[in-house]
Copies of this chain bind each other. A is one copy, B any other.
Amino acid sequence: MPGAAPPARGARRSEADPLRQPEQVAALHRRIEEIVEVAAMCGVNVICFQEAWTMPFAFCTREKLPWTEFAESAEDGLTTRFCQKLAKKHNMVVVSPILERDDVHGGTLWNTAVVISNSGSVLGKSRKNHIPRIGDFNESTYYMEGNTGHPVFQTQFGRIAVNICFGRHHPLNWLMYSLNGAEIIFNPSATTGELSESLWPIEARNAAIANHCFTCAINRVGTEYYVNAFTSGDGGKAHHDLGYFYGSSYVAAPDGSRTPGLSRTQDGLLVAEVDLNLCRQVSDKWSFKMTGRYEMYAEELMKAVQLNFAPNIIKE
């Protein structure tokens, strides 16, 4: 069964400008439409785009306004309706990570992946569980930690889940998607070279091994320039970009193998044929779920979060 992984963003040196929101979104829709056409020719069944794919990764700027203009409804926003058309046309499951405007709950913002069935209907959504507080990633001023838990989506082509970006660093996040039955966990990301490139080949690959599932690590590519300069709180001068998004998207398998990475400098489409039987086969061989002792960890974690937790430290 061909699964799929994801194009990185086309803009390699683009001026980001919130006042041009409609035309920027339209241009990205056109670009993705082309890429999905190619994916369909390759027989792709499930596709996932990068994190917040319809916008520049503006969370580095602390202006916040009017960047919030890029937020859309997960259920019936312009981008979701666009993806529904693609999904139906190509009989393809589409995972579309956007900045969500939640009008049902006071118009709050979320970092959300919308999962669209190959029938064209919205299957559901999965929000980013872990929000970074690091460097210029000022996301925590835009939205809060997700409240959708760890949903797994039963599609015609397998059970999939979405661990958005910073959740990649949290092994428990991968684990809970896996305990809910995920066979493929997508990790749509936007992360820069100086920050995380040394960790990138390790984390999603370890998650595939530890959870007997496939993982798809997806990153955007290029540098995005902002008109208004911003400082980084590191003593350096004000500057106009967040750093270099290094692409290098890849797919890892439960046996520890992985695909080559996509380009570091150009957008692209990575198509991987994944045999989901491998999840069960590797699990029956290694049995990490059986040997996991989760009850012990549930109890220990519950103690560890108490205010009066006393770490188990043995002294002479």
Contacts and interface: CB of A to CB of B under 8 A. Distances in A.
B199 A313 contact: no
A295 B305 contact: yes
Interface in A111-134: 115, 117, 119, 121, 123-124, 129-134
B294 A152 contact: no
Nearest to A150: B312
A129 B172 contact: no
A308 interface: no
Interface in A263-300: 285-288, 290-300
B169 A171 contact: no
A291 B172 contact: no
B133 A290 contact: yes
Given A170-B291, A210-B170, A315 B202 contact: no
Shortest 10 CB-CB contacts between residues of A and residues of B: A171-B171, A206-B206, A298-B301, A298-B302, A198-B256, A180-B311, A172-B297, A295-B305, A124-B314, A154-B315
Given A117-B316, A133-B290, 16 more contacts: A119-B316, A123-B316, A131-B291, A134-B285, A150-B312, A151-B312, A154-B313, A169-B210, A172-B292, A180-B313, A199-B209, A199-B256, A202-B209, A294-B301, A297-B301, A298-B298
20 contacts: A130-B291, A133-B290, A134-B285, A145-B293, A153-B313, A154-B313, A154-B316, A170-B288, A171-B172, A176-B300, A176-B301, A179-B311, A198-B255, A202-B202, A202-B209, A203-B206, A294-B304, A297-B301, A298-B304, A302-B302
